[in-house]
Amino acid sequence: MKFIKYFVVLLVVFTSCKAKKNLMDSNVVAEEMSAKKIARKHIASNFDKKTVDAKLKANFNNGKIKQGFSVSFRMKKDEVIWLKGTKFITLFKAKITPTSVQFYSSLSKKYFDGDFSMLKKILGTDINFDQLQNLLLGQSLMNVKKQKQEVIIQDNSYVLSPKVQEDLFDIFFSVNPSHFKLDKQSIVNSKKNQRLDVFYPSYKIVDDAVFPSEIKIKAKQPGKFTNIDFIVKSVQFNTDVNISFSIPKGYKQIKI
């Protein structure tokens, strides 16, 4: 009986490990599947850990500033996103909640304390807390089950788009056929010549969670652009995270 018990346990572990390994299989071919089923699988792949504590390598380029630096990224899911950029010294800190964005730059001695207009200026599109959180986790910015979706297979991804697009912009989500997180998502405003593209070149499995290894953000507006690339160096989940934040005295407020 003990032998059978241990055999069953080993079989379950082996099968589980094999299934998780298959999630990262780049040889999986996108076969015909309904948009409804793809949307359901994408939502089922949603990140379910309580906290994130990650170390990232970042590259920022907006044509005026081109800089590489390290980023500490901490998150309490659905509550707060905390970022600190360093390069020998602290470059900036940011704390984002569902209702506010706080940020300060140690180099310019300036700070911002307000709403999401700061992120809109950087990304060129309106974005709220849930959408920013999804962007960082490889999930769709919009609820793919809220509207009926169309699907095509392109570059071995399931590309979902609403059957009825929004008045001001078009939305596209490229879903990976292996783990059903995103390969790419795009928001395009052709009238204003604006677009936001977010690429997810690779993922890793950590503590049973599929998490982006790389994120490439490309925002374009007339006469300007912002490119931000992240590479995840390490990540832990469900740990106690320090999200303390205070704006230093003497800094000048940024008005937007």
pLDDT for 125 equals 83
For residues 198 and 131, what is the distance between their CA atoms, to the nearest angstrom? 12
Report yes or no on 24 lying in a domain.
no
Report yes or no on 7 lying in a domain.
no
List, in sequence order, every residue forming a beta bridge with 216; answer none if it has no partner.
199, 229
For residues 17 and 19, what is the distance between their CA atoms, to the nearest angstrom? 5
Average of per-residue pLDDT values in the chain = 89
Q: Are 123 and 143 in contact (CB under 8 A)?
A: no
> Average pLDDT for residues 16-29, to the nearest whole number?
62
Dump strand ranges (E) for the chain.
51-61, 66-76, 80-87, 89-96, 101-105, 110-114, 149-154, 157-162, 170-175, 182-189, 194-199, 203-206, 209-212, 214-221, 224-237, 252-253
pLDDT for 12 equals 41
Report yes or no on 8 lying in a domain.
no
Report yes or no on 4 lying in a domain.
no
> Average pLDDT for residues 88-117, to the nearest whole number?
95
Report yes or no on 22 lying in a domain.
no
pLDDT for 26 equals 67
Neighbours of 208 (CB within 10 A): 10
pLDDT for 40 equals 95
pLDDT-derived band at 23, boundaries 50, 70, 90: low
Q: Is the pLDDT of residue 207 over 50?
A: yes
SS3 of residue 41 by DSSP: helix
Q: Is the pLDDT of residue 143 over 60?
A: yes
For residues 150 and 78, what is the distance between their CA atoms, to the nearest angstrom? 29
pLDDT-derived band at 14, boundaries 50, 70, 90: very low
pLDDT for 120 equals 85
> Average pLDDT for residues 117-129, to the nearest whole number?
87
Which CATH number do you get for residue 154? 2.50.20.10
Report yes or no on 3 lying in a domain.
no
Report yes or no on 15 lying in a domain.
no
Domain count across the chain: 1
Q: Are 189 and 182 in contact (CB under 8 A)?
A: no
For residues 131 and 75, what is the distance between their CA atoms, to the nearest angstrom? 14
Pick from 10-14, 173-177, 210-214: least confident:
10-14
> Average pLDDT for residues 115-134, to the nearest whole number?
89
Q: What percentage of the chain has pLDDT greater than the value 70?
A: 89
pTM: 0.87
Q: Which domain holds residue 129?
A: 29-243
pLDDT for 122 equals 83
> Average pLDDT for residues 194-217, to the nearest whole number?
96
Tokens of 17: 């490990």
